Structure 1
Amino acid sequence: MLTTLTLGSIASVSAAKIDLSQEIVIKAKRQAGDLKNKIASYLDDVVITQGSLTINADIVQVISNSDNDDKTYVAKGKPAKFEQLLDDGTPINLEADEIKYEPGNNTITIVGNAVLSQAGSEVKGGKIVYNTLTEQLSAEAGDNDEGITQTILKPKEKAKDQQ
């Protein structure tokens, strides 16, 4: 089952555009590189930061596209985590067994026990693809998800003077 939607509670992510102009800092206990194939591997307690964006994982591979300067980040962990602040300061959080972040395509694909959370609402599935530019996502059930995806929408809180 495939679900495509735009969560009304997900705010503008132009902060993501600002983050792309920031330097990338990668910290890990170990690293290795395959310069010929343009693949860098970071292992053990990997933390990547770029502006408000943070990725935490056990292993991250950074694959450089030979045709242009685009890079693909593949993070794996139990779970691997991605967090970024939106313009209004609200964090968007993604976690899964694997996170594939493609800033050049404005996409994040999370696979295996995938969860996307923002402002108390969340989407769960086997695979979630999120476009940081259009703010749209699609979710698919995985083999261990009883054949369904799940969305939990948090109700808006009433102002105290309205109660």
Structure 2
Amino acid sequence: MPHKLILGIVLTFPLSSVMAAQVDFEQEIVIIAKKQSSDLKNKVASYMEDVKITQGTLSIEADLVQVSNQPNGVHKIYLAKGKPARFSQILDDGQKIELQANEISYSPATQIITIKGNASVSQEGSMVKGDIITYNIATEQLSAESSSAVTTILQPEPKHKLDDSAEKPDTLQEYNEVEQEKEQQL
């Protein structure tokens, strides 16, 4: 029975500002590959060998990418395969999110990414690994499942400064020294 983990990204995985660079979705999509073939009847284009897709700061790299147009003519699906295929994007807050797996499915219309096979999502050193990971950019939700276990690695919060000029003391003795210096200045 597969284990399933649904994460509230805001609570456990630091994918902050996941409403990622909305301006990216207003940019043109550029596809570069060594080979291309198209099935006009079925509305499927295939790009092979060293495929790179960019849309603003969004990037997909893979060995093979198939772009399928749905019957309504608006909705497209990008299916990337590689060892691994990679997806990355710079978020509004400047953070970079990276996804990699043997297969990446991306729908610009729904802003949903599904990655399968040795799947991982990472940001700021934190990571989620599983067999299948689904990431909804619009709702800031991530779900991961695995036939054995989902692995989540969370990094500790960085140390924050007390003020602009002094760092937070690491020990009680350092804290007392800082407090004594403040009293002497008064």
> 1:16 offset after TM fit, Å?
4.1
Q: CA RMSD in A?
A: 1.1
Count of residue correspondences: 159
- The answer for the alignment partner of 1:6 in structure 2 is 8
Which structure has the larger Rg over C-alpha atoms? 2
Task: Return the letter of the residue paired with 2:155.
Answer: K
| Preserved contact between residue 85 and residue 104 of structure 2 (Cα < 8 Å) | yes
- The answer for the alignment partner of 1:104 in structure 2 is 109
Deviation sequence 1:77-119 (CA, Å, 0-9, x none)? 0000000011111011000000000111121000000000012
- The answer for the alignment partner of 1:151 in structure 2 is 152
Task: Return the letter of the residue paired with 2:43.
Answer: K
Counterparts of residues 8-157 of structure 1 (less than 5 Å): 8=10, 9-142=14-147, 147-157=148-158
> 1:14 offset after TM fit, Å?
3.1
Cα distance in 1, alignment partners of residues 144 and 58 from structure 2: 22
Q: Identity of paired residues, percent? A: 53
Task: Return the letter of the residue paired with 1:49.
Answer: T
TM-score, reference length from structure 1: 0.94
Structure 2 unmatched runs, 5+: 162-166, 171-186
| Preserved contact between residue 16 and residue 132 of structure 1 (Cα < 8 Å) | no
TM-score, reference length from structure 2: 0.82
Moved over 4 A (4+): none
- Give the secondary structure class of the aligned counterpart of 1:20: helix
